[in-house]
Amino acid sequence: MFVLDAHGHPLDPCHPARARRLLASGRAVVVRHTPFVIRLRDRVAADSTVQGVAVGIDPGSEHTGIAVFTDRDGSRTGRYAIQLDHRGGQIRDKLSARAALRRGRRSRNLRYRAPRFNNRTKPKGWLAPSLKHRVDTTMSWVTRLRRWAPVRTVHVERVCFDTHAMSAGRPLEGAQYQRGTLVGCEVREYLPAKWGRVCAYCGASDVPLNIDHLHPRSRGGSDRISNLTVACVPCNQAKSATPIEGFLRGEPTLLAKILKQAKAPLRDAAAVNATRWALWRALEATGLPVQAASGGRTKWNRFRTGAPKSHTLDAVHVGHLQTVTGWPSTTLVAKATGRGTYARTRADRYGFPRLRLPRTKTVQGFRTGDLVRANVPTGKKAGVHTGRVAVRSTGSFNITTRHGTVQGIGHRHMRVLQRADGYGYTTQLEARHRAAFPPPPEGGGFHAGGIR
């Protein structure tokens, strides 16, 4: 749990059991519900020994793993884990819909101003809103963690995918990638993520995976990313040099699924490439020491410690380390939901207004997205309900809990636990140590010529 001193300055995090004792004895008060932050009444940072913590970041297109850990001479202990779910895809879809509506209105001879077209230029370093969102939300959480914990350094994974080489079918190995202009491509990191880290043919997970050509090279197949998949050792040996159409002749549904997934665009890899330097510059602007590492190093660290694959565990294993003594048993999942919209109307399929919303977002002191606790004494909905609230002008609200949505609860029974901050919070159990496979031999992160 995060701990602040009497003046609001961060102290070293403590165990949840210790936080409960401090609250029960009256020495501490609750500052924030999620993530849970307490403030000590009888201690200041100047009179305490603060060792500090480090923050690890594993950036991704849809999810970013953030971990808070202590680092003592290369031995790391995870203290807190956050999985940040981005909404860049929603932003992209909404911008595309807005552009389509505007294009439709312009084509109906309804123009009310002179056209401007291409007389505006974008500044240097401009990112699309869906990409800038990924950088902004990550930096927002780094800023928050600095308010709640004494962060001393930041470790970030900086992966580079050469999408041009992936799509063009150029060789992905040899001296050209070791010393040439294509250095830094980590196709062995991209393929497992694309195929969900399971065998494409039998769905086996937590097994050694090999790179397999859908159309074998001996029959004219290329090395482009659309012709590559991952397969377990038995499936890879059974398929051998057989084309995928012949290997899956009796399973047309699986064949169609694999071919469709193989041709999926490199959208996620492009998003990581476009934002990695912007995130690096934003982290350096904080004034903290920032250390970068490759995805291959993270994978090697993870297999040396026997940790399974997850976004938050990757964040713990970023950079140079000797060992990881432990990590949190639960992960906080923070899903970016936004803070609502300025528009007070809803449009139909043609872009014309179909209904109007209230001009104020606050109803009886509550806003949609607030974390509330409702204590209903009687009736069909009697009980205690904790979750996010959706307000109505009538004063009868809905509460979304982890068990479902409870509708029609009066505002008089509710109490605000935490104001809406643009995120929805849930928790999930973190995987434990994996002992099914021994770590790879010193000097490499792959097993049997494939991917672990």
Q: What is the pLDDT of residues 185-224, one digit of tens each?
A: 456 777 887 788 899 999 888 888 898 999 998 888 888 7
Mean pLDDT of 401-411: 91
Give domain limits for the chain: 2-47, 53-88+127-161+268-336, 163-265, 356-420
Buried b (16+ CB within 10 A) or exposed e, 121-150: eeeeeebeebbbbbbbbbbbbbebbeebbb
Q: Which two tokens stand for residue 148?
A: 């709640």
Identity of the highest mean pLDDT range in 139-148, 303-312, 323-332, 399-408: 139-148
Q: What average pLDDT does range 116-136 have in this prediction?
A: 84
Eight-state DSSP code of residue 363 = B
Of 79-88, 99-108, 364-373, 395-404, minimum mean pLDDT range: 99-108
Written out in words, the top-level CATH class of the domain with range 163-265 is mainly alpha
CATH superfamily of 53-88+127-161+268-336: Ribonuclease H-like superfamily/Ribonuclease H (3.30.420.10)
What are the structure tokens assigned to 262, written together? Answer: 């193989």
Residue 111 pLDDT: 59
Percentage of residues of the chain with pLDDT beyond 70: 85
What integer pLDDT is reported at residue 137 of this predicted model? 95
- Residue 178 has what pLDDT? 40
Question: What is the rounded CA–CA span in Å between residue 96 and residue 91?
Answer: 9
- The fold adopted by the segment(s) 356-420 is SH3 type barrels. (2.30.30)
Q: Which residues pair with 404 in a beta bridge?
A: 401
More confident residue, 271 or 57: 57
For residue 35, cis peptide bond before it (omega within 30 degrees of 0): yes
What whole-number distance in Å separates Cα of residue 55 and Cα of residue 289? 11
Q: How far apart are CA 7 and CA 206, in angstroms?
A: 48
